[in-house]
Amino acid sequence: MLQAIGLTSTRHRGLPPAVDDLTFEAGSGSVTALLGPPGSGKTSTLRLMLELEPGRGVTYFRGRPLHRVAHPAREVGVLLGDVPGHPARTVRGQLRMLCAAAGVPASRADEVLDAVGLVGLGDQRIGTLSLGMDRRLALASALLADPHTLILDEPAEGLVAREADWLHGMLRSHADRGGTVLYTTRDPKEAARSAGHVVTIDSGRLLADQEAADFSRTRLRPRVAVRSPHAARLAAIISREARAARRSVEVVTEASSSRLSVYGSSCAEIGDTAFRHGLPVHQLADEVGDTGPASRPRDSGVLGDGLRDNGLLRDCDPLSEGEGEGKGGDGAAAAARPATGIGAVAAASRRAAGGRAPAVESAGAQLPPRIRRRPARGPLRPVRYELRRLFGVRSTTLIVAITLVASAAVSVVLARNGRAPLPNVLVAWPSLLPLPPAALGAGLLGALSFGDEFRYPALAAGRGTVPRRLGLLLAKLAVSAGVALSLGLLVVLVSAESLRLVYGGDLVQVPSNVMSLAASWSGLTVGCAWAGLLAAGIFRVTAAGVAAVLAVPVLMVPLIEAVPKAPTARSMSGLPGRLRELTWLQWPQEADRWVLALVRVVAHPVGTALTLSLSVLVCAYLFTSLRGRVRW
């Protein structure tokens, strides 16, 4: 069961809140429609329930608020807006990536594809899907972790009748298995046709809380749609005969002069009338017309026929058909849901929380607890998620291929004149370029690691940004470092093979200081990848990551080289031995060479510039992203 109690959104610039003291329930085993016109606060209600917006109130999912649920994806499946997937990613790849985020086996992706009818489109790109197929993928994403509750915002908007019927059939099937379904809609006919319970809101406040049958009887009226070239004459005849027979029949002329809507009659009676008077009829069909919700001024004490508002909305009776039906009426009035006043909110909160009182703001008045906007959680399997995110699109393979081809071409050109040092030839780094192609490629892949997350936030439904979690950050750093090292090794091997093929095998020889060169090359590629990743995470755009990588040789290195050097330089010989004495560690003598190689890398102008840049970016990332309590 889902219980929303006292939901109230934060006021902005003196405007009334989009949601004002809203309380309702959505039971297990049924489909509940949240009905309201555009701007009535439906989407804001869902966002408050999911703790995506600040405000007041509490929503219990089977007795627990969302931030108390250990694995929210396994409790609540959400559809807000479009599927935030990379258009170049395949349908199956998108779902498998989300499987890693939700902590479910990858085989679950094929199961939900079969359930939503996309099993034959698993290898199709997301960007090529039609609206109906996109909605099926969205529903598959919501069902991925087999949640108990589904929350969907206008899921059938823009769909043709056949696709909408299929979607609502899926929602009813989920409810029949004991799940809870809550979706928003602006169409009363859709709510009456597909939901078992209808909650009507307007201006963020509750208007009616009814079962579907009561809603249909009190809100919708049957009518006969008539189209005739002599509509005006036919309308006069129908009205005259109804008055003569003392029958309650209402004839409404539509905007089109050839169309009528007749309430209180039937197709057979209207057809007989038209036949008797020799009037042609081009259309004659039964329809359901919407009478519209009872209007209620924002600050008024009147909710409409059968609705009362005594300042705190003490009770809320459903809309009634006639002027004098009131609450008792003819027995069709639905039982009112829990009251939405302050006292009722406190009582309902205590009942839903097992006797615990909600948070209090002051000693004198009990108010609904605050809703704090909490950042989305990171993936449960961050490394697997990051690998699927990285290799699920063609841009990664394309960047690696371009880097290898460019490096091989630059190496062959550099080796032609014979003046460039062999290490520069192997890594394809001429003096004219600020960085070698491998470093630029590693930096671009690192920048895309966070840049694509903010552009296509697959982890955070409705939040618009990627969650900042330590586990996700460490996974991105580890995967980007591994990709950078692999790319650096591939560049050296491809360049060496290109030189052997073009100039023979005598040109490529293993240098004596290979360990120091390997450490320098690894530090450069990994450092560029991390610089691009952290800068993109701070500024939330890929271009910022690329700019941070280029700033190292273009800005930082000239600044470091411009610093006046001392006339005499001190030697760092013996540093490994002094470090061993300081830390009381007994590492192998071979490790001394690695320590000295690392020190030489950092002492190089490029290494110093990269180290300073990474230090600044790490501090900026911690300040902007991991403020407050650090969470895994």
Could you tell me the two tokens for 130?
A: 């039609």
CA distances from 71 to 108, 288, 422, 468, 576 (A): 17, 43, 54, 17, 48
Following DSSP, what letter does each residue of 489-557 receive, concatenated?
A: HHHHHHHHHHHHHHH-SSS----TTHHHHHHHHHHHHHHHHHHHHHHHHHHTSHHHHHHHHHHIIIIIH
Could you tell me the two tokens for 65?
A: 């608020």
CB 318 within 8 A of CB 215: yes
Distance CA 224, CA 130 (A): 35
Strands 259-263 and 220-227: antiparallel
Q: Is the pLDDT assigned to residue 297 strictly greater than 60?
A: no
Following DSSP, what letter does each residue of 412-423 receive, concatenated?
A: HHHHHHS-S-HH
Would you place residue 623 in the very low, low, confident or very high pLDDT band (cuts 50, 70, 90)? confident
Strands of 51-95 (E only): list them: 55-61, 64-65, 76-79
- Mean model confidence pLDDT for the chain: 81
Would you place residue 58 in the very low, low, confident or very high pLDDT band (cuts 50, 70, 90)? very high
Long-range contacts of residues 415-421, Cβ cutoff 8 Å, at least 24 apart: 415/499, 415/502, 415/503, 415/507
- Report pLDDT for 579: 55
- Report pLDDT for 308: 32
User: Which of 48, 43, 108 shows the shortest CA–CA distance to 73?
Assistant: 108
Question: Higher confidence at residue 181 or residue 629?
Answer: 181
Distance CA 52, CA 48 (A): 6
| Least reliable range by pLDDT among 81-85, 216-220, 268-272, 292-296 | 292-296
The average pLDDT across 267-276 equals 93
Question: Higher confidence at residue 503 or residue 34?
Answer: 34
Question: Residue 146 corresponds to which amino acid?
Answer: D
The average pLDDT across 489-504 equals 91
What is the share, in percent, of the chain residues with pLDDT greater than 90? Answer: 50
Could you tell me the two tokens for 246?
A: 């003392």
CA distances from 568 to 129, 564, 571 (A): 68, 12, 10
Question: Higher confidence at residue 376 or residue 569?
Answer: 376
Does the CA dihedral 43-47-50-56 come out positive or negative?
A: negative
Q: Is the pLDDT assigned to residue 564 strictly greater than 50?
A: yes
User: Which of 62, 63, 48 shows the shortest CA–CA distance to 369?
Assistant: 48
User: Which of 93, 79, 61 shows the shortest CA–CA distance to 167?
Assistant: 79
User: Which of 83, 80, 82, 69 shows the shortest CA–CA distance to 45?
Assistant: 80
The average pLDDT across 581-601 equals 56
Dihedral-angle region of residue 530 (phi above 0 means left; psi in -120 to 50 means alpha; beta otherwise): alpha
Q: What is the largest CA-CA distance in the chain?
A: 118
Q: Is the pLDDT assigned to residue 247 strictly greater than 50?
A: yes
Question: For residue 432, what are the contacts with CB-CB under 8 A and spacing of at least 6?
Answer: none
Would you place residue 354 in the very low, low, confident or very high pLDDT band (cuts 50, 70, 90)? very low
Q: pLDDT digit string (tens) for 107-134? A: 999 999 999 999 999 999 999 999 999 9
Highest mean pLDDT among 419-423, 489-493, 496-500: 489-493
Total number of residues shown for the chain:
632
Distance CA 553, CA 558 (A): 7
Question: Higher confidence at residue 565 or residue 89?
Answer: 89
Distance CA 239, CA 228 (A): 16
Question: Residue 444 corresponds to which amino acid?
Answer: L
Distance CA 99, CA 116 (A): 16
- Report pLDDT for 318: 34
Q: Is the pLDDT assigned to residue 166 strictly greater than 70?
A: yes
Question: Residue 4 corresponds to which amino acid?
Answer: A
Does the CA dihedral 117-120-125-129 come out positive or negative?
A: negative
Q: Residue for token digits 């259309």?
A: 283
Strands 302-304 and 307-308: antiparallel
Distance CA 600, CA 553 (A): 18
Distance CA 365, CA 148 (A): 35
